Amino acid sequence: MDRNEKTGHITIARRIFQGTGLLAGCLGVIVPVMSHIVFPGLHCYACPLAVTICPIGIIQNLLKTGFPLFPLAFLGLSGILLGRWWCGWICPFGLVNDIFIVLNTKKRIKQGITIATGIISLGAALLIILFLDNKWLSLIPGVFVVFVLLLLIVPYFSPGLKQKTGSVKLTGILFLIFTCFFPVVLIIDLAPLPVLILGGGFFSLILGGGMIFFFRNNKPFILKFIILILTTGFAVIAADTLFCKLCPSAALSAALPYLITNPSFIPGSMYWIKLGILLFTALCLVTVSRFFCRYLCPLGALFGLTNKLSLLKIKRSSECDAVDKNKCKYACIKSCIMGIKDIHKQKVLTQTDCIKCGKCIEACPYSHLHFCGGIA
Ligand code: SF4
Ligand code: SF4
């Protein structure tokens, strides 16, 4: 099988599976079969068309009163079978991440979209402020967040900041600044004040500080494990679904459709924070491929833990060691959409970030990588 033929087969198969995941999880196409079961992908069950249950949502809800045995057992079994394959081949929000990769690989489109987004959003924010009356008062916090966010993000794409590592580190710093706005914005909506300041400060410190620490130490993927701990910890201690409130997948598939289908609905500040996070994620996806899956997704963190045990594996044949790397030019590493840098050193790709997308298999000019199954 030559390289081009393999490329076609893996990519086409993955797109078919991703389409099936979208239909099964979100669009209610197979309602009688799939209704009310946990789905191994991130999607919001508040989406008007959703028929399956988001695992992160149900875990948080069950943690309020007990232990989420069934969803964890389901995810554990799914992970032992296929590891993070679910992220690469089934997850609906993974598909959204992949759609942005198309923009990510086209520099001119990337710059154009970023500049256009910045100008349009700033213009919209200014218009809203100019025509502000009482009815729009609830927009202020959201506009404030989006405004500051864009001011911070637009320079991020300017010349001189294009190197991947610089961009990734700057993303971490921006994320810290962004999270610092949570207590400020939440104060407008909720009370009591001391709890919010303490809670918001703690959230900002852990998330932002963790991001900078791990970016500095070249381990930014650990951030999603912190988010997983914060998500579950918050559900146990505060009996609240913190992740659902901030989830960009929910913003896209539930919050936006709700606004469109309910014209009388006046969004509160939390709503606009959620949309701000979606915008932030979208902008980061234009710069860093699969940004959300790499650094933020708690479901990805859970499945990542099972990658070492999973029955489906990607193996590198020993002949790779003898290949002149000036000839292959580390094509596998360059093609990796999750930014994994040690593919050429591992006999079996069990890194927590490998989503088994098969891009590296397609890219290797000598066919030295391949899928295989079993415990060995
Ligand atoms: S190592 Fe290969 S299969 Fe794993 S995420 Fe990277 S390109 Fe995909
Ligand atoms: S797997 Fe293929 S592309 Fe990657 S280092 Fe080995 S020979 Fe080169």
Taking CA atoms only, the protein residue closest to ligand 2 atom 6 is 320
Pocket of ligand 2 (CB under 6 A): 316, 320, 323, 328, 330-332, 343-344, 364, 366, 368-369
Identify the burial level of 285 via C-beta atoms within 10 angstroms of its C-beta, where 0-12 means exposed, 13-18 middle and 19 or more buried: buried
Report the largest interatomic distance among the alpha carbons of the chain, rounded to a whole angstrom: 71
- The alpha carbon dihedral of 286, 282, 177, 121 has a sign of positive
**Model confidence over 165-185: pLDDT tens digits?**
445 555 555 554 445 444 444
According to the per-residue pLDDT averaged within each range, which of 141-155, 235-249, 354-368 is highest? Answer: 354-368
Domain shared by 192 and 334, yes or no: no
**Model confidence over 223-252: pLDDT tens digits?**
788 888 888 888 888 788 888 888 889 988
Other residues' Cβ atoms within 10 Å of the Cβ of residue 155:
13
Phi, psi for residue 344 in degrees, rounded to 5: -75, -5
Dist CA 13 CA 280 (whole Å): 30
Contact 227, 22 (CB under 8 A): no
Q: Does residue 306 fall inside a structural domain?
A: no
Instruction: Output the CA–CA distances (angstroms, integers) from residue 11 to 6, 15, 251, 362, 371, in the order listed.
Output: 8, 6, 28, 9, 14
Work out how many domains the chain is built from and give that number: 3
**Model confidence over 190-199: pLDDT tens digits?**
445 555 555 5
Dist CA 89 CA 86 (whole Å): 5
Q: Does residue 108 fall inside a structural domain?
A: yes
Range of the domain at 38: 3-93
- Cβ of 314 closer than 6 Å to ligand 1, yes or no, is yes
Domain shared by 59 and 158, yes or no: no
pLDDT confidence of 187, banded at 50, 70, 90? very low
- Cβ of 223 closer than 6 Å to ligand 1, yes or no, is no
Taking CA atoms only, the protein residue closest to ligand 1 atom 4 is 354
pLDDT confidence of 337, banded at 50, 70, 90? very high
Domain shared by 39 and 174, yes or no: no
Dist CA 354 CA 82 (whole Å): 11
313 vs 222, higher pLDDT = 313
Instruction: Give the atom of ligand 1 at the shortest distance from the alpha carbon of 369.
Output: 2
What is the arithmetic mean of pLDDT over 336-361? 93
